[in-house]
Structure 1
Amino acid sequence: MAKYISKNIIGEPVCERSIIVQTDAKLIEKREILKIKLNKSGNKSVSVIMMNPSEADSAKSDGTVNKVIKFFVKPSHSPLNERNREITDIKHLNILNLLPIYNHKSKGLNNDLDIIIKEQSKEQLQALFESNIELAIETIKTSDYVVLAWGMPDEFPLPLYYKLAAKVLEEVIDSPKEIFVFRVKNSRAKYHLTKRLNPPHPSYCNLLGLVRVDVDACLRIVPRISDIPIEDEV
């Protein structure tokens, strides 16, 4: 179990972790939002939208959440964009997800969906999706910055994945807010988008900075050329 790094946060993170399904063989829980107050100066908020919760809640963290916290707190990890600009005024971090279901392996998510339908109903599962996306959209509206970071899940229904991602992207089309993706470099992503042109997920990679993006009418995530670091340009 990962712990929050106490020097990086103020107080206890806030989230509501609740049970969706509980049987003798399976426990499925959900988290729609995780709110964290960072131990640094500033008064702005950022919403980071990932795929689904892994472990983190009010009492414990996980590797990915700790990495994102450190990225926004540590001076050596100041998110750079527009080549010479630093974003250093972020105090409030909201962790959101396309899917609210806890599972540390995305390969298990489709099986979780089947169990929820079996134990409850398709209507309950749909209501779960809608509640989560509605909260994500409302949180985005009140955030100063937005980071798209959901990656590409393994063994998950692609139509559903793209439907959920599209709902978020439709909200930020032509938005006056500053929208970013993480600048990374690993086997699944080169610098700022995955090989399938999705925003990279922060797990299993080093976070190097931020790249500001636009979302066009075709729901494409388009990095602003002026914001791409010189060494990333092709």
Structure 2
Amino acid sequence: MKKVALNVGEYQGVTYYSDNEEERYLLKAIRDPEVDKSVTVIMLNPTTTEEALADPVVQKAIHYFPNKVGKVNIVNLFPFRENHIHQLDEHMKGQNMRDFSIIKQNLHMIKLAIKDADEIILAWGSLPDGFSEAHYHTCIRDIVHLIRVFHKTNHCYVFEIEGQKSLLTWDNHPHHPREGKIKGLQHVSELWIEDGCLVLRF
């Protein structure tokens, strides 16, 4: 794994890539190391933007949080750096999700980010067109399991997106920041897996 230091504006950052930099496992955006509070945002996948902190979606997410948050961790359901989400499945063709080393490494980094977080923002968006529903729901189930293991079920939130009438997408998933301006956070009162799918209650 390759660790790369970043520095953009008021933020210092650390990014954890695979050795060939085709996957990004974790982005830490640190505003103030003296402030203990940390937030973890779980999105869908990183883009190919060379400077991770300069990615407009990443900037939108980290700049939403006030000065009382010292660190924002960005992790993703899938670590593959891909601008076209409908092509995400190409990275996993012929792979068993439970044995795929890249996915296992990604889940390990998500585990660390969840354990570290005071607040967890669920923000991966709808199932992409043409994407494997099995792959998608497998990763979400693993994340819900980790949230429960580290007793973070009462620390989960979703973004409220300007112009969106519902707190969830049409297929009942948390909105992704790319969908519009973030206008607030909504606390998740309950979350569980039912018939293989995520259920959120507010």
The answer to whether TM tops 0.5 is: yes
Task: Give the direction of change, closer, same or farther, for the CA distance of 1:123–1:67 in structure 2 (3 Å limit).
Answer: closer
Alignment of 1:179-194 (within 5 A): 179-186=156-163, 189-194=164-169
Which stretch of the first structure deviates more once superposed, 36-45 or 200-209? Answer: 36-45
3-state SS of the aligned residue for 1:29?
coil
Number of equivalent positions: 190
Which amino acid counterpart does residue 89 of structure 2 have in structure 1? N
Q: What is the CA deviation profile of residues 48-69 of structure 1, one whole-angstrom value per residue up to 9, with x for unaligned ones? A: 0000101356665211001112
Q: Kindly report the root-mean-square deviation, in angstroms, between the aligned alpha carbons of the 2 structures.
A: 2.8
**Corresponding residue for residue 3 of structure 2:** none
* SS state at 1:159 partner: helix
Which TM-score applies when normalising by structure 1? Answer: 0.71
Gaps of 5+ in 2: 1-5
Partner SS state of residue 190, structure 1 = coil
CA 1:162–1:190 in 2, change beyond 3 Å: closer, same or farther?
A: farther
CA distance in 2, matches of 1:91, 1:179: 18
Partner of 1:215: 191
Match of 1:139 in 2: 113
> How far apart in 2 are the matches of 1:165 and 1:124?
13
1:103 corresponds to which residue? 82
- What is the Cα deviation at residue 38 of structure 1? 1.9
Aligned counterpart in structure 1 of residue 39 of structure 2, from 43, 46, 69: 46
Give the one of 104, 117, 126 matched to 1:130.
104
Match of residue 69, structure 1, among 59, 62, 66? 62
TM-score, length of structure 2 as denominator length = 0.81
- Aligned-pair identity (%): 26
Structure 1 residues 133 and 49: CA distance shift in structure 2, 3 A: same
Q: Which has the higher contact order (CA 8 A, sep 6+)?
A: 1
Q: CA deviation at 1:181?
A: 0.4
Per-residue deviation, residues 182-202 of structure 1 (Å, max 9, x unmatched): 01144xx53421111101100
1:149 aligns with 2:119: no
Gap runs ≥5 in structure 1: 21-27, 74-87, 224-234
Task: Quickly say closer, same or farther: Cα 1:46–1:95, change in 2 above 3 A.
Answer: same
**Which of the pair has more CA radius of gyration?**
1
1: CA distance, partners of 2:30 / 2:76: 18
Aligned mates of 1:123, 1:59 — CA distance in 2: 26
AA paired with 2:57? T
Change (3 A) 1:63 1:197: same
Partners in 2 of 1:123 and 1:196 — Cα distance?
23
Larger deviation, residues 197-206 vs 38-47: 38-47
